[in-house]
Structure 1
């Protein structure tokens, strides 16, 4: 079967010969043909969703006012390189997977969909296969700092997104450290953060009894198990004394455009390259998700016409 025939099957287009043959089929043959066509369509849809594009409904306001609650966003999965399914559908059972090359690597300013790595101290997320959408502001090796809510990358102010939102009219004082900030023990808060160097493959981290807790979960995640310990005043990895660690992967720093209401890298750390799913680039349509489906006319009346087919930036 060539691509032309596959396209006709997906679109339901039939030749005159096929229509004539269909008319001669028995009811049983027609039922069998229907389910064969349905199965083919489902396989084609699964292939497209897996490797090319998918629709994601936005449930939270962490990217307001760029992306609103109730937006249905189209995600480009092949731009960074898509992968085969990583989990059995509707379960948290992991599968072996492979990736295919992408068009380009993620870039600063991209709106990125990625698999949530877990809370700050989690080796693995409490719930697997959960995707987040945030803006990438820190590339591997970048030095990031936030001063009074203004982000700086390598000493230069990061371009302010056109629809960035601040729910609070003021910044937290720089000397007010928060216990929940990443990494553990850092004297920072969400409005005054860093300087923080985004981990990069090959980067060497110095480990001491004083700072190992800041890096413990990060290193454990790279190994997929708990490997970092402090024994007799000495930092060990898999029981071997160490004073440094070489990062194995590239990472990105993600932040929400709704800066005061976003659970992002400031709270749970950087995102590894292999956790990236795709780029959110288009709002398909949008409505008020607070309206229940049984109130269909009110729900349809809440459709935000100005956001239909809106390109994200």
Structure 2
């Protein structure tokens, strides 16, 4: 855990015990305790335990990260009982809104202190005990999931070999600051759909604007979980969703013309039922942040360059190579141990002819294959612009126009928008930034007679409201990433991939347990 994360956790713990201080001071006066004691963080909880005659060791449990918050809530509940407050809603207010509820109790002339002796005369029913325990568990888990960390499973091989399919991760929400949900009314522990149905698991009756507590920017080369930027519109059938995104389907149906494809989809709602999702309910993706706000990114010969300098190469990143071996049969154990290749996995190795193969290799494995003599020749399988059928320009990769003849291995240069930076729009960069300005930042934008019209006014200048990031998978030839859908806005950032707590593949991968993610 970083120093920044420790500081954030500590600050939240202090806020929990200092925000209700005013109400506590009024309640302390009712039991003849000096009011000033309510304003000293944690000492106030010691006083509460002392007055309520509850175990003093509870005081020390408060200092356990995260779990201590719920110990503090427990102390609050034991304290409020001493004022005759036993109902569920009173305990809910005590946990969730003590800075409002405690002043009410403290200043209510009809509320008196009954003391620990009075509390002993009150007995909860068995049903009430179970209900309280269940609700507390759900609330606690939801708060942890929203503000601290969340479990996440790797569903695809886009980050191999850094992360493997069926790696189970903890994603830190405090690394970049907890994001307040846009749609707070939702069924707990469900992302966007009720399992077994096509129905939403959330309501948009209440919609909150983007905000983030204790905000900290994403750092270059972090492994990040984020909401899929072009997942705002989804074809709501299992074979589509994020596996075959709406915008890809529309371009495909329209032979590169997005608007034509969109009209075909809208004209056939039975085949293409659409659903619009808010930011926090879009699919979760995990990639590596290769460029941050203000960077200029370029990919040449499959290698990433940031601001003109060669970028970081993750040690387990891999690309496709054409390999001609010296002729001997491939040994499964040697290929697995020395080159991290599973010869039974068609996604990692495919036979071209005889002793020629396409292999998915890390840079170290490729070099080792050369020096060991296994490979007579080994050549990266890069996609060059001159290899692309001219009829496919506008369908290859972002920004999907015929002006930028880019491929996943020959891309850019492209500038990543930064908050507060002003861009001069030109016909050459319009398609690069149009979605960020119009969709992510909520403006109207169009071209008319050689002019740009922003929010109804002619202007070629735009100042960005958010930071943006460029995300790429470590499996560079097997990843749906920013090369296909562009920038990731800061309001889509979920958290930082922190640790692998479990990994399964026909049994537990013991060597991956509790491995930090780099």
Q: Could you tell me whether the CA contact under 8 Å between 1:200 and 1:250 is conserved in 2?
A: yes
- Against the structure 1 CA distance between its residues 127 and 303, is the aligned structure 2 distance closer, same or farther, given a 3 Å change threshold? farther
Aligned-partner SS, 2:177:
coil
Measure the CA separation in 1 of the matches of 2:127 and 2:203: 35
Q: Match of 2:424?
A: 206
Measure the CA separation in 2 of the matches of 1:25 and 1:209: 74
Measure the CA separation in 2 of the matches of 1:202 and 1:115: 23
- Against the structure 1 CA distance between its residues 7 and 126, is the aligned structure 2 distance closer, same or farther, given a 3 Å change threshold? same
Measure the CA separation in 1 of the matches of 2:470 and 2:72: 44
Q: Match of 1:15?
A: none
Per-residue deviation, residues 126-168 of structure 1 (Å, max 9, x unmatched)? 5552211110110111111111111111111112101102145
Measure the CA separation in 2 of the matches of 1:118 and 1:56: 20
Q: Could you tell me whether the CA contact under 8 Å between 2:397 and 2:406 is conserved in 1?
A: yes
Q: Could you tell me whether the CA contact under 8 Å between 2:293 and 2:416 is conserved in 1?
A: yes
Aligned-partner SS, 2:435:
helix
Cα offset, 1:108, TM superposition? 0.6
Per-residue deviation, residues 66-119 of structure 1 (Å, max 9, x unmatched)? 1111111110001110022222333373731542104x4211110011111106
Q: Could you tell me whether the CA contact under 8 Å between 1:57 and 1:73 is conserved in 2?
A: yes
Q: Match of 1:91?
A: 202
Measure the CA separation in 1 of the matches of 2:134 and 2:179: 25
Measure the CA separation in 1 of the matches of 2:466 and 2:142: 29
Farther off after superposition, 228-237 or 187-196: 228-237
Q: Match of 1:132?
A: 285
Q: Match of 2:213?
A: 100
Measure the CA separation in 1 of the matches of 2:147 and 2:158: 26
Q: Could you tell me whether the CA contact under 8 Å between 1:175 and 1:187 is conserved in 2?
A: no
Q: Match of 1:166?
A: 319
For the pair shown, which has the larger CA radius of gyration, 1 or 2?
A: 2
Farther off after superposition, 169-178 or 106-115: 169-178
Per-residue deviation, residues 168-218 of structure 1 (Å, max 9, x unmatched)? 541111445653322232211001111111111233322234543333222
Aligned-partner SS, 1:38:
helix
Q: Match of 2:126?
A: 30
- Against the structure 1 CA distance between its residues 127 and 257, is the aligned structure 2 distance closer, same or farther, given a 3 Å change threshold? farther
Measure the CA separation in 1 of the matches of 2:203 and 2:486: 22
Q: Could you tell me whether the CA contact under 8 Å between 2:226 and 2:493 is conserved in 1?
A: yes
Choose between structure 1 and 2 for higher RCO, CA contacts under 8 A separated by at least 6 residues. 1
Measure the CA separation in 1 of the matches of 2:426 and 2:309: 31
Structure with a larger share of its residues in helix? 2
Let me know the Cα RMSD of the aligned residues: 3.0
- Against the structure 1 CA distance between its residues 207 and 311, is the aligned structure 2 distance closer, same or farther, given a 3 Å change threshold? same
Runs of 4 or more consecutive aligned structure 1 residues displaced over 6 Å after TM superposition: 119-122
Aligned pairs for 1:296-307 (under 5 A) are: 301-307=506-512
Out of 387, 398, 410, the residue aligned to residue 182 of structure 1 is 398
Q: Match of 1:13?
A: none
Q: Match of 2:153?
A: 57
Aligned-partner SS, 1:180:
coil
Q: Match of 1:21?
A: none
Q: Could you tell me whether the CA contact under 8 Å between 1:150 and 1:157 is conserved in 2?
A: yes
Q: Match of 2:309?
A: 156
Structure 1 alignment gaps of length 5 or more: 11-23, 289-300
- Against the structure 1 CA distance between its residues 99 and 206, is the aligned structure 2 distance closer, same or farther, given a 3 Å change threshold? closer
Q: Match of 2:465?
A: 248
Aligned-partner SS, 2:293:
coil
Question: Is residue 147 of structure 1 aligned with residue 300 of structure 2?
Answer: yes
Aligned-partner SS, 1:47:
helix
